[in-house]
Structure 1
């Protein structure tokens, strides 16, 4: 597997963990001091920093979630690479299903900074800019 493919796998595993409400899978993809930031209509929001802050935020959201969400990544573009890190952009299409009804939830663009070490790639920073409101 190429480096780019392995980075795409890490981000896909992160979002699979989010969709399946699997805190351990999410944890396995994040650097200890990871950050997650979202921009919507120019406003910045973010969960508490760090692996445990992000996981705690997701666990609280999952307790209130009443639908099944699916994050779909596409258009992976490597912006930069070095021996210790990489930045990759992805498009996001987010769908939800409830009561057998599918609906689009959001679209946007992820910019993900990965840290690379002998242990593999981990997500250091996730920045999501949404194209419009979502629920």
Structure 2
């Protein structure tokens, strides 16, 4: 089941039926990009107003009743996968597969006859995270706040 698919299954099916190029990053790949709250406090919070803001927003949400999908000690940065595949386009991280169709219960229909799309089966989570942490530190090192 895909994390955002329930937002608009009809739209997802229209995209899959279209001729546009699609790179799908399934939920199992997105879930690979996680790190500890302590690591985020150490590697994000000290760097500029943006680092402090990002960490405080995460902390406030993590302590709220809406944070049912996080364990409290880790945080998923799965949306970073999109940046990761653009920065590090490894052909061995994906397969070309026939685009699926989605049922209303979010199950897949395969063998649709649709054109092939790129479907990722692996992410390099450390590369994605370390690239973000390094760029943040390089950009804001003069503004580091202790």
Band the TM-score falls in, shorter-chain normalisation: under 0.3
> Normalising by structure 2, what TM-score?
0.24
Name whichever structure is richer in strand by fraction.
1
Decide which structure has greater helix share. Answer: 2
> Larger Cα Rg: Structure 1 or Structure 2?
2
**TM-score if structure 1 supplies the norm length?**
0.26
